[in-house]
Amino acid sequence: MENNINYKHSSNRQILIIGGGFAGLEAAIKLRKYKHEVTLISERDYMFVYPISIWIPIGKQSFEDTKLSLSELAKIHGFNLIIDKITKIESKNNTVYSETTTYHFDYLFLAIGMGKVQMKGLNHTHSICGKPEESLIIKDLLDNLLAKGHGHITVGFGGNPKDLTATAVRGGPAFELLFNISVLLKEKKLKDNFTLTFFAPMEEPGKRMGVKAYNKMDIFFKHYKVKTHFGKKIKEFTENAIIFEDDTVLTSDLTLFISGGDGLQLIKDSDLPTNEAGFILINEMCRVEGNPHVYAIGDVAAIIDHPWAAKQGHVAEIMADVATYNFHNSVTHKEKRMSYWERLHLVCVMDSGDGAAFVVRTANKEIMIPLPIIGHWMKKGWGWYYKNSKKKRMLRLPGM
Ligand SMILES: Cc1cc2nc3c(=O)[nH]c(=O)nc-3n(C[C@H](O)[C@H](O)[C@H](O)COP(=O)(O)OP(=O)(O)OC[C@H]3O[C@@H](n4cnc5c(N)ncnc54)[C@H](O)[C@@H]3O)c2cc1C
C-alpha cells in the first residue's frame, strides 16, 4: 500500500521520523515547536524511559510506569503518529517500507536506536538494555532464584570489536543493576547466600567515566560485596556459566550481560553510509554523510570518538535538538547551524539502590560526586520530571 501521509494541515513538505525513543520523540516535539507538520513512525506504541527501567527487575518500578504513551504525546504536541515497523530503507529514493506500507518522505530523521553484538551462547544471558519486556523476564528469573535462597549472580558488559570507541559500550546500567541487586539481597537478608560477580572483557571497565570515577569503583565493589573478573575475553556463555578465552569458568545461575552496541540489520541492509559496526555516518550537524535530506540521531548514529563520549538519552536529545535546528534553518534559508560536537558531554546519575554517583565528563573536566541516599531520589525525581515535562504538565528546565 502506498502512503502519502495524510496531513492535518496543508504542507507540501513530508517530514518523517522513525523511532519513538529519546531521539525521535524529542525531534517530533522540536519540529512541532518550529511549526512543521511531522509524522513519527514507531514499532511500539510507547516510549520506554530506559534509565528508570533498572528498577523493574528488583520490583521497585512497574513496567507500566516506565512507559509513555506515544498517542497521548502525539495529541499533546500535535504530531502525527503511525505504529508500524519499518523493514526497508531506501534513503536515496526518499522511501521507507514496512511489511504492508510504503512511505515517501522529503526529509527523514532516523532514530531507531541500536542492536547488540551477537556472541556464542548469548541466549543464555539476559540484558537490561534489550527489548523493554526483557526487564520483566529478568525480574521473574531473579525472583525465582531468590525464592530458591542461594546461588551465583553475574552481571557484566562487553564491547564491539568492529567499533572500538567507547560509544559502542553501555556499562552504566550494568553497574546500576548490579548494585541494586546487592541492596535487594541485603534487604532480604540473603547476601551471605549469594555470590554477586561483575565481569567484563576490558582491563579497565568503566574508565570512560573518568579516572576519578574509575578509581572509586573499587570502593563501590567492596561496599556492595561484589567480586570482580576483568580483562579476559569471553569465549561463550552456557546455561550455568561464562567461559573465558583461557577456559576459566565463572559459575552463574543468572547471567545479566549487556553485549556491545551494534548497528541494526535494517541499517546495515540499507543504502545509508555506515561505519564497520553499522552505525550511520553523520556530520557534526547530525546530517547523514552525502544526503542533505536525512538526519540520524541518537544511538543509531556513529558519534564522534572521544574517550569520554557515550551514547546516552541526553545525548540523543541534544542530537535531536541540533538536527531539527539545522533542518529548520536550512529550509527557512537561515545561515546559522549548530554542532552536536560542541554540546557533547557525559552526564549520569549512576544509581546504586541506596544512593548514586553523579558523574560528569567533558574534554576538560571530570567530576564524580558520591551521593548516598539523596542520589537515588535524584534519579527517581528525574524519571518523574522526564515523564511530566514531556506531557507538558510542568515547564522544561533548560538543557534537561
Ligand atoms: C537500562 C538502560 C539505562 C540507561 N540509563 C541511562 C541514563 O541514566 N542516562 C542516559 O542519558 N542514558 C541512559 N541510557 C541510554 C539511553 O536510554 C539511550 O541512549 C537512548 O534510549 C537512545 O535513544 P534513541 O532514541 O536513540 O533509541 P531508543 O530509545 O532505543 O529508541 C528507538 C526507537 O525506535 C523504535 N524502532 C526501532 N526499530 C524500529 C523499526 N524498524 N521501525 C519502527 N520503529 C523502530 C523503537 O521502538 C524505539 O521507539 C540507558 C539505557 C538503558 C538500556
Q: What is the mean pLDDT of each run of 10 residues along the chain (400 residues)?
A: 55 90 98 97 98 98 98 98 98 97 97 97 98 98 98 97 85 96 98 97 83 84 95 96 96 98 98 97 96 97 87 96 98 97 91 94 88 95 96 83
Cβ of 53 below 6 Å from ligand 1? yes
Cβ of 43 below 6 Å from ligand 1? yes
Cβ of 361 below 6 Å from ligand 1? no
Distances (CA, A) of 253 to 9, 150, 210, 228, 237: 56, 10, 32, 16, 11
Q: Are the beta carbons of 294 and 288 closer than 8 angstroms?
A: yes
- In the reported structure, the alpha carbon of residue 302 is separated from the centroid of ligand 1 by a whole-number distance in angstroms of 15
At residue 313, the pLDDT reads 96
Domain positions in the chain:
2-114+263-343, 117-260
Distance CA 280, CA 249 (A): 37
Whether 117-260 and 2-114+263-343 are alike in CATH topology: the answer is yes
- In the reported structure, the alpha carbon of residue 357 is separated from the centroid of ligand 1 by a whole-number distance in angstroms of 22
Place of cell 529550509: 331
Cβ of 18 below 6 Å from ligand 1? yes
Cβ of 21 below 6 Å from ligand 1? yes
- In the reported structure, the alpha carbon of residue 44 is separated from the centroid of ligand 1 by a whole-number distance in angstroms of 12
At residue 2, the pLDDT reads 67
Place of cell 570482580: 228
CB count within 10 Å of CB 249 equals 12
At residue 3, the pLDDT reads 66
Q: Are the beta carbons of 172 and 51 closer than 8 angstroms?
A: no
Choose the residue to mutate in 30, 41, 50, 138 for probing ligand 1, maximizing ligand atoms within 8 Å of C-beta.
Answer: 50
Q: Cell numbers of 19, please? A: 523511532
- In the reported structure, the alpha carbon of residue 36 is separated from the centroid of ligand 1 by a whole-number distance in angstroms of 24
State whether residue 383 is helix, strand or coil: helix
Taking the model in full, what pTM does it have?
0.95
- In the reported structure, the alpha carbon of residue 192 is separated from the centroid of ligand 1 by a whole-number distance in angstroms of 36
Distance CA 238, CA 241 (A): 5
Q: Are the beta carbons of 145 and 188 closer than 8 angstroms?
A: no
Closest CA relative to residue 76, chosen from 387, 397, 319, 316 = 387
Contacts by 148-152 with C-beta closer than 8 Å and gap 24+?
A: 149/190, 149/193, 150/190, 150/193, 150/194, 151/193, 151/194, 151/195, 151/253, 151/254, 152/194, 152/195, 152/197, 152/250, 152/251, 152/252, 152/253, 152/254
At residue 153, the pLDDT reads 98
Virtual CA dihedral for 281, 287, 288, 292, nearest 10 degrees? -160
Cβ of 19 below 6 Å from ligand 1? yes
Q: Are the beta carbons of 26 and 317 closer than 8 angstroms?
A: yes
Contacts of 373 (CB under 8 A, 6+ apart): 354, 355
Virtual CA dihedral for 44, 381, 23, 358, nearest 10 degrees? -130
Distances (CA, A) of 125 to 139, 178, 206, 270, 367: 13, 15, 21, 29, 33
Q: Cell numbers of 111, please? A: 532514530
List 320's β-bridge partners, or say none: none
CATH class of the domain at 117-260: alpha beta
At residue 11, the pLDDT reads 55
Choose the residue to mutate in 49, 135, 175, 299 for probing ligand 1, maximizing ligand atoms within 8 Å of C-beta.
Answer: 299
CATH 3.90.930.12 fits 2-114+263-343, yes or no: no
For the stretch 35-44, pLDDT in tens is 999 999 999 9
Task: Give the DSSP per-residue string, 228-267.
Answer: EEES--EEEEETTEEEETTS-EEE-SEEEEEPPEE--HHH
- As a three-state string, the secondary structure of 140-200 is HHHHHHHHHCCEEEEEEECCECCECCHHHCCCHHHHHHHHHHHHHHHHCCCHHHEEEEEEE
Choose the residue to mutate in 16, 17, 18, 22 for probing ligand 1, maximizing ligand atoms within 8 Å of C-beta.
Answer: 22
The continuous run of DSSP H or E covering 368 comes out as strand 366-372
Closest CA relative to residue 38, chosen from 285, 331, 239 = 331
